[in-house]
Amino acid sequence: MAVVLYYIALPFIYLLSVLPFPVLYGLSNVVYALLYGVLRYREKVVLTNLRNAFPDKSEQEIRQLSRAFYRYFCDLFLEVFKTLTVSPETMLKHCRFTPQAQVVFDELAERNQSVVLVLGHLGNWEWAGNTFSLLCKQQLYVIYHPIVNPYFDGLMYRMRTRFGTKLIAMKETYRKMLSQKQELSTTAFIADQTPSAPQTAYWTTFLNQDTPVFPGTEIIARKLNFPVVYTRVKRLKRGYYEIDAEILVANPAETKDGEISEIHTRRLERDIIEQPETWLWTHRRWKHKRPVKD
């Protein structure tokens, strides 16, 4: 059944990828009307997340923000498929580095320093990976969770690696990074994933809620002593993004437990508050409760 569904969907996916951007966003408007107006996809999750994250906003403001998010979410969903056929020149036109970001990665490459990169599900993180691989000297590795359907997993793998990005399955992260320590690389961790083991997570307050933070990013950065760089993907207007970057921690081995996790969580929180409609509010980020200490 999985293979049948894949081969039925594949021609339509490729058709989406070759649509001109104005047509693509016209289709996105239709998808929004269906997803938000009819299906109400994960509406309860989105509204609960928004109300808890922004307790000072009125219900009218929450509803308005919810609509803005769903409009963006539909754009993002369709934009991802452009990676199948978009040219490098067009990709860089629609998703670019700030001069500061280019300097950060160029200087690290000149010093032959590999990097632990942290970012969130904010803006088009898929396009950001493409842009990085096109512009940076470091080999980009992205930590990912394989999709259950092996055929669609293969399609996503082809899209994500088309411009030179390489993928690492999450369970193999440290072993792979250790074996490739001599290679000039940047390994990207999505910082707002929900940890599978909340009892061992670093707990903090994020968007006004108790939140577990995946500790692996910090643990690996400290063990390998790779500089930690935070990347923000900001939406400039429909279909256009700008990537900024800053070195958060130059020498992770010298930090205390929880320090790196706290710093990158605060940066992400700041950027979500600045442009909240571009964060992934459908994500069940707060399904775990902070463990009670004895």
pLDDT beyond 80 at 173: yes
Model confidence over 141-150: pLDDT tens digits? Answer: 999 888 888 8
Please report the pLDDT score of residue 294 as a whole number: 54
Model confidence over 117-127: pLDDT tens digits? Answer: 999 999 999 99
Q: How many CB atoms lie within 10 A of CB 197?
A: 10
- Residue 285, domain member (yes or no): no
Q: What residue numbers bound the domain in which 155 lies? A: 2-278
| The two structure tokens encoding residue 51 | 């109300």
Per-residue burial over 143-166, b = 16 or more CB atoms within 10 Å of its CB, e = otherwise: bbeeeeeeebeebbeebbbbbebe
Model confidence over 201-232: pLDDT tens digits? Answer: 999 999 999 999 999 999 999 999 999 999 99
Q: How far apart are the first and last CA of the chain?
A: 49
Counted domains in the chain? 1
Q: How far apart are CA 99 and CA 242, in angstroms?
A: 10
- Residue 185, domain member (yes or no): yes
pTM: 0.94
- Residue 294, domain member (yes or no): no
- Residue 209, domain member (yes or no): yes
Q: How many CB atoms lie within 10 A of CB 288?
A: 18
Say which residue the tokens 């995946």 belong to: 214
